[in-house]
Amino acid sequence: MDWVPIVFGTFKVVALLTAMFFAIKWHYDQGEKKGREAVLRASAKITALFVVALVGVGLMAYTISSMLGLNLSY
């Protein structure tokens, strides 16, 4: 039983590193195909969308916490 976490952990690390390699390679190849400006524009849009979603989730969590009467002061 002691070998199970080692084998599964190693498999997980190898699988994630392989997936990251192919994801980076694919994005690099797309950048060469479409041009650097298009890739930067797309990454800026995704970053902006992520920030808006993060702020929205934060505001929703704050609103729900306040409605439930949780003490949000330090």
Domain residue extents for the chain = 1-34, 36-74
Q: Which two tokens stand for residue 6?
A: 């080692």
C-alpha–C-alpha distance, residues 15 and 45, integer Å:
29
Q: pLDDT (tens digit, 0 to 9) for every residue of the chain, 74 residues total?
A: 688 889 999 999 999 999 999 998 888 887 777 777 777 888 899 999 999 999 999 999 999 998 998 887 76
The four Cα atoms 54, 58, 63, 69 give a dihedral, to 10 degrees, of: 150
Quick one: pLDDT at residue 73?
77
pTM for this entry: 0.51
Quick one: pLDDT at residue 29?
83
